Protein backbone atom coordinates (compact mmCIF):
# COMPACT_ATOMS: atom_id res chain seq x y z
CA UNK A 1 0.00 0.00 0.00
CA UNK A 2 2.79 2.33 1.04
CA UNK A 3 4.75 1.43 -2.09
CA UNK A 4 1.68 2.05 -4.27
CA UNK A 5 0.98 5.47 -2.85
CA UNK A 6 4.63 6.43 -3.05
CA UNK A 7 4.60 5.35 -6.66
CA UNK A 8 1.39 7.23 -7.37
CA UNK A 9 2.88 10.31 -5.80
CA UNK A 10 6.07 10.06 -7.85
CA UNK A 11 4.06 9.41 -11.02
CA UNK A 12 1.83 12.39 -10.53
CA UNK A 13 4.76 14.65 -9.66
CA UNK A 14 6.71 13.63 -12.72
CA UNK A 15 3.69 13.88 -15.01
CA UNK A 16 2.96 17.32 -13.62
CA UNK A 17 6.56 18.43 -14.14
CA UNK A 18 6.56 16.90 -17.61
CA UNK A 19 3.30 18.58 -18.49
CA UNK A 20 4.44 21.98 -17.28
CA UNK A 21 7.70 21.55 -19.19
CA UNK A 22 6.07 20.50 -22.44
CA UNK A 23 3.44 23.21 -22.19
CA UNK A 24 4.37 26.21 -24.28
CA UNK A 25 7.33 24.56 -25.99
CA UNK A 26 7.39 22.22 -28.95
CA UNK A 27 10.66 20.62 -27.86
CA UNK A 28 10.18 17.31 -26.05
CA UNK A 29 13.24 17.71 -23.86
CA UNK A 30 14.20 20.45 -21.49
CA UNK A 31 17.31 22.29 -22.63
CA UNK A 32 19.18 24.67 -20.39
CA UNK A 33 22.61 26.32 -20.65
CA UNK A 34 22.27 26.61 -24.44
CA UNK A 35 21.32 22.96 -24.75
CA UNK A 36 24.34 21.70 -22.77
CA UNK A 37 22.00 20.57 -20.00
CA UNK A 38 19.17 18.25 -21.03
CA UNK A 39 16.41 16.64 -19.03
CA UNK A 40 14.32 13.76 -20.41
CA UNK A 41 11.89 11.29 -18.97
CA UNK A 42 9.28 8.63 -19.57
CA UNK A 43 6.40 6.90 -17.83
CA UNK A 44 4.44 3.78 -18.73
CA UNK A 45 1.48 1.85 -17.38
CA UNK A 46 0.67 -1.70 -18.45
CA UNK A 47 -2.26 -4.07 -18.05
CA UNK A 48 -1.40 -7.77 -18.05
CA UNK A 49 -3.79 -10.69 -18.41
CA UNK A 50 -2.68 -14.33 -18.60
CA UNK A 51 -4.77 -17.45 -19.22
CA UNK A 52 -2.60 -19.34 -16.71
CA UNK A 53 0.45 -18.57 -14.53
CA UNK A 54 1.35 -15.11 -13.28
CA UNK A 55 3.38 -12.52 -15.13
CA UNK A 56 4.10 -9.14 -13.52
CA UNK A 57 1.74 -9.65 -10.59
CA UNK A 58 -1.50 -11.59 -10.15
CA UNK A 59 -2.46 -11.86 -13.81
CA UNK A 60 -3.79 -15.44 -13.92
CA UNK A 61 -7.35 -15.14 -15.23
CA UNK A 62 -7.47 -11.55 -13.99
CA UNK A 63 -5.94 -8.22 -14.89
CA UNK A 64 -2.71 -7.12 -13.22
CA UNK A 65 -1.78 -3.46 -13.13
CA UNK A 66 1.53 -4.21 -11.42
CA UNK A 67 3.83 -3.25 -14.25
CA UNK A 68 4.82 0.37 -14.60
CA UNK A 69 7.96 2.29 -15.39
CA UNK A 70 8.98 5.82 -14.58
CA UNK A 71 12.32 7.37 -15.42
CA UNK A 72 13.96 10.75 -15.42
CA UNK A 73 17.42 11.44 -16.73
CA UNK A 74 19.69 14.43 -16.99
CA UNK A 75 22.89 15.06 -18.88
CA UNK A 76 25.27 17.94 -18.75
CA UNK A 77 27.98 18.50 -21.34
CA UNK A 78 30.64 20.24 -19.31
CA UNK A 79 33.15 20.49 -22.18
CA UNK A 80 33.19 18.80 -25.62
CA UNK A 81 35.24 16.03 -23.98
CA UNK A 82 33.30 15.64 -20.73
CA UNK A 83 29.69 14.70 -20.11
CA UNK A 84 28.00 14.01 -16.80
CA UNK A 85 24.80 11.89 -16.94
CA UNK A 86 22.43 10.28 -14.49
CA UNK A 87 19.13 8.44 -14.70
CA UNK A 88 16.63 7.65 -11.95
CA UNK A 89 14.24 4.76 -12.38
CA UNK A 90 11.16 3.62 -10.51
CA UNK A 91 9.87 0.29 -11.74
CA UNK A 92 7.04 -1.87 -10.47
CA UNK A 93 6.93 -5.41 -11.82
CA UNK A 94 4.77 -7.82 -9.82
CA UNK A 95 6.76 -9.54 -7.09
CA UNK A 96 10.11 -8.73 -8.70
CA UNK A 97 10.23 -4.95 -8.41
CA UNK A 98 8.49 -2.66 -5.92
CA UNK A 99 8.71 0.77 -7.54
CA UNK A 100 11.45 2.05 -5.24
CA UNK A 101 13.41 4.85 -6.86
CA UNK A 102 17.01 3.90 -7.68
CA UNK A 103 19.96 5.24 -9.59
CA UNK A 104 19.74 3.48 -12.94
CA UNK A 105 23.01 4.97 -14.13
CA UNK A 106 25.26 7.82 -13.11
CA UNK A 107 28.49 8.39 -14.95
CA UNK A 108 31.18 10.70 -16.14
CA UNK A 109 32.06 10.20 -19.81
CA UNK A 110 35.50 11.48 -20.81
CA UNK A 111 36.49 11.42 -24.50
CA UNK A 112 40.16 12.47 -24.66
CA UNK A 113 40.65 11.22 -28.23
CA UNK A 114 38.53 12.52 -31.05
CA UNK A 115 39.14 13.02 -34.78
CA UNK A 116 37.23 12.86 -38.06
CA UNK A 117 37.89 9.11 -38.16
CA UNK A 118 36.85 8.14 -34.66
CA UNK A 119 36.97 8.67 -30.95
CA UNK A 120 37.98 6.88 -27.76
CA UNK A 121 37.22 7.43 -24.12
CA UNK A 122 36.23 6.07 -20.76
CA UNK A 123 33.01 6.09 -18.75
CA UNK A 124 33.21 5.91 -14.98
CA UNK A 125 30.50 5.36 -12.40
CA UNK A 126 27.32 3.27 -12.66
CA UNK A 127 27.25 2.17 -16.28
CA UNK A 128 24.52 0.42 -18.24
CA UNK A 129 25.70 -3.05 -19.20
CA UNK A 130 26.25 -3.59 -22.91
CA UNK A 131 24.32 -6.81 -23.51
CA UNK A 132 22.82 -7.54 -26.93
CA UNK A 133 21.09 -4.79 -28.90
CA UNK A 134 18.50 -3.59 -26.39
CA UNK A 135 19.86 -3.84 -22.85
CA UNK A 136 21.24 -0.35 -22.28
CA UNK A 137 17.78 1.21 -22.70
CA UNK A 138 15.70 -1.85 -21.74
CA UNK A 139 13.41 0.11 -19.41
CA UNK A 140 12.58 2.85 -21.92
CA UNK A 141 9.37 1.77 -23.68
CA UNK A 142 10.02 3.83 -26.84
CA UNK A 143 13.33 2.11 -27.52
CA UNK A 144 11.92 -1.42 -27.24
CA UNK A 145 10.42 -3.33 -30.15
CA UNK A 146 7.62 -4.65 -27.91
CA UNK A 147 6.10 -4.21 -24.43
CA UNK A 148 8.48 -6.81 -23.04
CA UNK A 149 11.80 -7.67 -24.65
CA UNK A 150 12.32 -11.25 -25.87
CA UNK A 151 12.57 -13.09 -22.58
CA UNK A 152 14.96 -15.77 -23.78
CA UNK A 153 17.75 -13.18 -23.79
CA UNK A 154 16.45 -10.20 -21.81
CA UNK A 155 15.02 -12.05 -18.80
CA UNK A 156 12.89 -9.86 -16.59
CA UNK A 157 13.53 -12.13 -13.62
CA UNK A 158 17.35 -11.96 -13.67
CA UNK A 159 17.54 -8.40 -14.97
CA UNK A 160 19.22 -6.93 -11.89
CA UNK A 161 22.44 -8.82 -12.57
CA UNK A 162 22.85 -7.41 -16.05
CA UNK A 163 21.14 -4.03 -15.94
CA UNK A 164 24.12 -1.92 -14.87
CA UNK A 165 27.40 -2.22 -12.98
CA UNK A 166 29.57 0.08 -10.89
CA UNK A 167 32.98 0.50 -12.45
CA UNK A 168 34.54 1.74 -15.65
CA UNK A 169 34.10 1.18 -19.37
CA UNK A 170 36.59 2.04 -22.09
CA UNK A 171 35.28 2.51 -25.62
CA UNK A 172 36.65 3.00 -29.11
CA UNK A 173 34.71 3.99 -32.22
CA UNK A 174 35.87 4.17 -35.81
CA UNK A 175 33.84 5.92 -38.51
CA UNK A 176 34.65 4.29 -41.84
CA UNK A 177 33.26 4.58 -45.36
CA UNK A 178 31.28 1.37 -44.90
CA UNK A 179 30.09 1.92 -41.36
CA UNK A 180 30.90 2.48 -37.72
CA UNK A 181 32.86 -0.05 -35.74
CA UNK A 182 32.55 0.30 -31.95
CA UNK A 183 34.05 -1.71 -29.15
CA UNK A 184 33.57 -1.35 -25.43
CA UNK A 185 35.02 -3.16 -22.47
CA UNK A 186 33.53 -2.66 -19.03
CA UNK A 187 34.72 -3.95 -15.70
CA UNK A 188 32.35 -3.43 -12.82
CA UNK A 189 30.41 -4.63 -9.81
CA UNK A 190 26.94 -5.99 -10.77
CA UNK A 191 24.04 -5.32 -8.43
CA UNK A 192 23.44 -8.43 -6.33
CA UNK A 193 22.16 -6.94 -3.07
CA UNK A 194 18.43 -7.28 -3.82
CA UNK A 195 15.96 -10.15 -3.40
CA UNK A 196 15.20 -9.69 -7.10
CA UNK A 197 18.80 -10.64 -7.96
CA UNK A 198 18.95 -13.53 -5.48
CA UNK A 199 15.61 -15.32 -5.95
CA UNK A 200 16.04 -16.36 -9.63
CA UNK A 201 19.36 -17.99 -8.79
CA UNK A 202 18.78 -19.69 -5.42
CA UNK A 203 15.01 -19.61 -5.02
CA UNK A 204 12.51 -18.08 -2.60
CA UNK A 205 13.07 -17.63 1.15
CA UNK A 206 16.79 -18.26 1.32
CA UNK A 207 18.45 -16.65 4.35
CA UNK A 208 21.87 -16.18 2.68
CA UNK A 209 23.22 -13.48 0.41
CA UNK A 210 24.96 -13.24 -2.96
CA UNK A 211 28.30 -11.57 -3.64
CA UNK A 212 29.69 -10.94 -7.06
CA UNK A 213 33.24 -10.57 -8.27
CA UNK A 214 33.98 -7.70 -10.64
CA UNK A 215 32.44 -8.68 -13.96
CA UNK A 216 34.06 -8.12 -17.37
CA UNK A 217 31.76 -7.20 -20.28
CA UNK A 218 32.90 -6.93 -23.88
CA UNK A 219 30.83 -5.74 -26.82
CA UNK A 220 31.81 -5.26 -30.44
CA UNK A 221 29.27 -3.58 -32.69
CA UNK A 222 29.32 -2.88 -36.41
CA UNK A 223 26.74 -0.52 -37.85
CA UNK A 224 26.90 -0.52 -41.64
CA UNK A 225 25.36 1.57 -44.42
CA UNK A 226 23.78 4.19 -42.17
CA UNK A 227 22.52 1.66 -39.59
CA UNK A 228 20.90 -0.58 -42.19
CA UNK A 229 22.96 -3.41 -40.80
CA UNK A 230 23.76 -3.74 -37.13
CA UNK A 231 25.88 -6.68 -36.06
CA UNK A 232 27.06 -7.23 -32.53
CA UNK A 233 28.91 -9.70 -30.36
CA UNK A 234 28.69 -9.54 -26.57
CA UNK A 235 30.55 -11.59 -23.96
CA UNK A 236 29.84 -11.21 -20.27
CA UNK A 237 31.15 -13.13 -17.29
CA UNK A 238 29.45 -13.25 -13.92
CA UNK A 239 31.03 -15.00 -10.96
CA UNK A 240 28.77 -15.10 -7.90
CA UNK A 241 29.23 -16.63 -4.48
CA UNK A 242 26.44 -17.57 -2.12
CA UNK A 243 27.01 -16.86 1.58
CA UNK A 244 24.69 -19.18 3.52
CA UNK A 245 22.57 -17.59 6.23
CA UNK A 246 21.44 -18.88 9.63
CA UNK A 247 20.27 -22.53 9.47
CA UNK A 248 20.58 -22.49 5.69
CA UNK A 249 20.12 -25.82 3.91
CA UNK A 250 22.32 -24.51 1.11
CA UNK A 251 26.10 -24.50 1.31
CA UNK A 252 28.51 -21.81 0.11
CA UNK A 253 27.89 -22.40 -3.59
CA UNK A 254 29.14 -20.64 -6.65
CA UNK A 255 27.51 -19.55 -9.91
CA UNK A 256 29.55 -18.86 -12.99
CA UNK A 257 27.52 -17.52 -15.89
CA UNK A 258 29.12 -16.71 -19.22
CA UNK A 259 26.60 -15.56 -21.81
CA UNK A 260 27.82 -15.02 -25.38
CA UNK A 261 25.39 -13.13 -27.59
CA UNK A 262 25.40 -12.79 -31.36
CA UNK A 263 23.09 -10.06 -32.66
CA UNK A 264 22.04 -9.07 -36.17
CA UNK A 265 19.59 -6.50 -37.39
CA UNK A 266 18.58 -5.29 -40.84
CA UNK A 267 16.63 -2.03 -41.10
CA UNK A 268 14.80 -1.12 -44.28
CA UNK A 269 12.70 2.02 -44.55
CA UNK A 270 9.47 0.41 -43.40
CA UNK A 271 10.53 -2.81 -41.79
CA UNK A 272 13.22 -4.31 -39.62
CA UNK A 273 14.39 -7.83 -39.10
CA UNK A 274 16.24 -8.67 -35.90
CA UNK A 275 17.68 -11.87 -34.54
CA UNK A 276 19.84 -12.62 -31.54
CA UNK A 277 21.34 -15.89 -30.40
CA UNK A 278 22.76 -16.48 -26.97
CA UNK A 279 24.82 -19.34 -25.66
CA UNK A 280 24.78 -19.23 -21.89
CA UNK A 281 27.41 -21.34 -20.19
CA UNK A 282 26.27 -21.94 -16.64
CA UNK A 283 28.20 -23.62 -13.89
CA UNK A 284 26.57 -24.23 -10.50
CA UNK A 285 28.81 -25.85 -7.89
CA UNK A 286 29.21 -26.49 -4.16
CA UNK A 287 25.62 -25.80 -3.06
CA UNK A 288 25.37 -29.23 -1.44
CA UNK A 289 22.77 -32.00 -1.74
CA UNK A 290 19.67 -29.78 -1.59
CA UNK A 291 20.32 -27.91 -4.82
CA UNK A 292 20.66 -28.59 -8.54
CA UNK A 293 24.43 -28.43 -9.10
CA UNK A 294 25.88 -28.91 -12.57
CA UNK A 295 27.48 -27.40 -15.61
CA UNK A 296 25.43 -26.92 -18.74
CA UNK A 297 24.90 -24.68 -21.74
CA UNK A 298 21.72 -22.67 -21.98
CA UNK A 299 20.54 -21.65 -25.41
CA UNK A 300 18.33 -18.75 -26.46
CA UNK A 301 17.34 -17.14 -29.71
CA UNK A 302 14.64 -15.11 -31.33
CA UNK A 303 13.69 -13.91 -34.80
CA UNK A 304 11.67 -10.74 -34.94
CA UNK A 305 10.13 -8.76 -37.75
CA UNK A 306 8.53 -5.34 -37.46
CA UNK A 307 6.64 -3.61 -40.23
CA UNK A 308 5.50 0.00 -40.35
CA UNK A 309 1.99 -0.08 -41.75
CA UNK A 310 1.67 3.73 -41.58
CA UNK A 311 4.03 6.32 -40.05
CA UNK A 312 2.15 5.89 -36.74
CA UNK A 313 1.40 2.17 -36.76
CA UNK A 314 3.88 -0.69 -36.49
CA UNK A 315 3.20 -4.42 -36.40
CA UNK A 316 5.42 -7.02 -34.74
CA UNK A 317 5.86 -10.77 -35.18
CA UNK A 318 8.40 -12.72 -33.15
CA UNK A 319 9.39 -16.24 -32.28
CA UNK A 320 11.44 -16.53 -29.13
CA UNK A 321 12.93 -19.75 -27.74
CA UNK A 322 14.67 -20.44 -24.46
CA UNK A 323 16.31 -23.63 -23.28
CA UNK A 324 17.95 -23.77 -19.86
CA UNK A 325 20.11 -26.73 -20.93
CA UNK A 326 20.68 -27.53 -24.58
CA UNK A 327 21.42 -31.17 -23.75
CA UNK A 328 18.14 -31.43 -21.84
CA UNK A 329 15.89 -29.25 -23.97
CA UNK A 330 12.64 -30.87 -22.83
CA UNK A 331 13.74 -30.70 -19.16
CA UNK A 332 13.20 -34.44 -18.55
CA UNK A 333 16.58 -35.03 -16.88
CA UNK A 334 15.99 -32.00 -14.68
CA UNK A 335 12.49 -33.20 -13.77
CA UNK A 336 13.84 -36.64 -12.86
CA UNK A 337 16.53 -35.08 -10.65
CA UNK A 338 14.37 -32.46 -8.92
CA UNK A 339 10.70 -33.58 -9.24
CA UNK A 340 9.95 -30.12 -10.59
CA UNK A 341 7.97 -29.80 -13.85
CA UNK A 342 10.11 -30.39 -16.94
CA UNK A 343 8.52 -27.43 -18.73
CA UNK A 344 10.10 -24.96 -16.30
CA UNK A 345 13.33 -25.56 -18.25
CA UNK A 346 12.19 -24.09 -21.57
CA UNK A 347 9.86 -21.53 -23.10
CA UNK A 348 8.80 -20.99 -26.70
CA UNK A 349 6.95 -17.77 -27.22
CA UNK A 350 5.11 -16.63 -30.36
CA UNK A 351 4.43 -12.91 -30.08
CA UNK A 352 2.28 -10.56 -32.13
CA UNK A 353 2.08 -6.89 -31.34
CA UNK A 354 0.94 -3.49 -32.50
CA UNK A 355 2.50 -0.11 -31.74
CA UNK A 356 0.54 3.10 -32.21
CA UNK A 357 2.45 6.37 -31.92
CA UNK A 358 -0.42 8.73 -31.21
CA UNK A 359 2.06 11.62 -31.03
CA UNK A 360 5.87 11.56 -30.81
CA UNK A 361 5.40 11.79 -27.02
CA UNK A 362 2.55 9.35 -26.50
CA UNK A 363 2.53 5.68 -27.51
CA UNK A 364 0.02 2.85 -27.13
CA UNK A 365 0.88 -0.82 -27.50
CA UNK A 366 -1.01 -4.09 -27.58
CA UNK A 367 0.67 -7.47 -27.50
CA UNK A 368 -0.19 -11.16 -27.32
CA UNK A 369 2.16 -13.98 -26.35
CA UNK A 370 1.37 -17.65 -26.98
CA UNK A 371 3.78 -19.56 -24.82
CA UNK A 372 4.76 -23.20 -24.45
CA UNK A 373 6.81 -23.64 -21.25
CA UNK A 374 7.41 -21.49 -18.21
CA UNK A 375 11.21 -21.08 -18.34
CA UNK A 376 11.24 -17.32 -17.94
CA UNK A 377 8.57 -16.91 -15.25
CA UNK A 378 9.51 -15.37 -11.91
CA UNK A 379 9.22 -17.44 -8.73
CA UNK A 380 8.05 -14.35 -6.81
CA UNK A 381 4.84 -14.30 -8.86
CA UNK A 382 4.60 -18.10 -9.12
CA UNK A 383 5.79 -19.46 -5.75
CA UNK A 384 4.45 -22.98 -6.28
CA UNK A 385 6.11 -24.65 -9.30
CA UNK A 386 3.57 -27.51 -9.17
CA UNK A 387 0.78 -25.02 -9.89
CA UNK A 388 2.37 -23.86 -13.16
CA UNK A 389 0.73 -24.69 -16.47
CA UNK A 390 2.76 -25.52 -19.54
CA UNK A 391 0.63 -23.80 -22.21
CA UNK A 392 -0.38 -20.25 -21.46
CA UNK A 393 -1.19 -17.01 -23.22
CA UNK A 394 -0.30 -13.50 -22.15
CA UNK A 395 -2.10 -10.34 -23.30
CA UNK A 396 -0.78 -6.88 -22.55
CA UNK A 397 -1.78 -3.27 -23.14
CA UNK A 398 0.62 -0.43 -22.50
CA UNK A 399 0.44 3.36 -22.55
CA UNK A 400 3.72 5.31 -22.50
CA UNK A 401 4.55 8.96 -22.34
CA UNK A 402 7.88 10.72 -22.73
CA UNK A 403 9.32 14.18 -22.73
Partner 1 sequence: MEKTPAIKFATSLLQLALLWLLASGLVLGVAHAQSSEPAMVVIAHPAVTEDSIPRATLRAILGMRLQRWPGETPVKVFVLADETPEHTTFSKSVLQVFPQQLRMAWDRQAFSGQGQYPEVVPSTQEMLARVASTPGAIGYVKASEVTPNVRVLKIR
Residue 280 CB, shortest distance to partner 1, in Å, is 21
| Site mask for partner 1 (CB under 8 A), range 271-310, x = bound | x-x-----------------------------x-x-----
Q: Are 261 and 233 in contact (CB under 8 A)?
A: yes
Which residues within the stretch 177-216 sit at the binding site for partner 1 (CB under 8 A)?
177, 179-180
Binding mask 125-164 for partner 1 (x = CB under 8 A): --xx-------xx--x-xx---------------------
Asked if 184 and 130 touch (Cβ cutoff 8 Å), the reply is yes
Among 79, 327, 384, 386, binds partner 1 (CB under 8 A): 79
In sequence order, the 6+-apart residues with CB closer than 8 A to the CB of 278 are 132, 152, 153, 259, 260, 261, 262, 298, 299, 300, 301
Q: What DSSP line would sit under 179-231, residue for residue?
A: EEEEEEEEEEEE---SHHHHHHHH-SS---EEEE--EEEEEEEEEETTTTEEE
The beta-carbon contacts of 386-393 under 8 Å, at least 24 apart in sequence, are 386/341, 388/52, 388/53, 388/341, 388/343, 388/344, 389/52, 389/53, 390/341, 390/343, 391/52, 392/50, 392/51, 392/52, 392/53, 393/50, 393/51, 393/368, 393/369
Of residues 222 through 281, those in contact with partner 1 by CB under 8 A are 225-228, 266-269, 271, 273
Number of residues that bind partner 1 (CB under 8 A): 62
110 binds partner 1 (CB under 8 A): no
Among the listed ranges 54-62, 84-92, 203-211, 243-251, the one in contact with partner 1 (CB under 8 A) is 84-92
Among 187, 262, 319, 356, binds partner 1 (CB under 8 A): 319
Residues that bind partner 1 (CB under 8 A): 26-27, 29, 31, 35, 38, 40, 42, 71, 73, 75, 77, 79-81, 83, 85-87, 105-107, 109, 111, 114-117, 119, 123, 127-128, 136-137, 140, 142-143, 173, 175-177, 179-180, 225-228, 266-269, 271, 273, 303, 305, 311, 317, 319, 348, 350, 360, 372
Amino acid sequence: MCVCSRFAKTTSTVLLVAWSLSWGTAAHALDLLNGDFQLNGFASLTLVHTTDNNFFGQSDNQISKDFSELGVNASWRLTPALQLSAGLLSRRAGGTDDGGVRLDYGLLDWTPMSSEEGRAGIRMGRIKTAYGLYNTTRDVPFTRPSIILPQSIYFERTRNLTVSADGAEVYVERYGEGGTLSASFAYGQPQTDTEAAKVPLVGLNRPGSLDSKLAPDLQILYEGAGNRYRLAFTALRLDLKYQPGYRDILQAGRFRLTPLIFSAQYNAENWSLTSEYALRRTSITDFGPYFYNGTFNGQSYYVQGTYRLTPQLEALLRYDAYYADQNDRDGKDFAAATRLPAFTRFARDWTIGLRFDVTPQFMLRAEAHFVDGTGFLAAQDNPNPQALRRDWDNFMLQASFRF
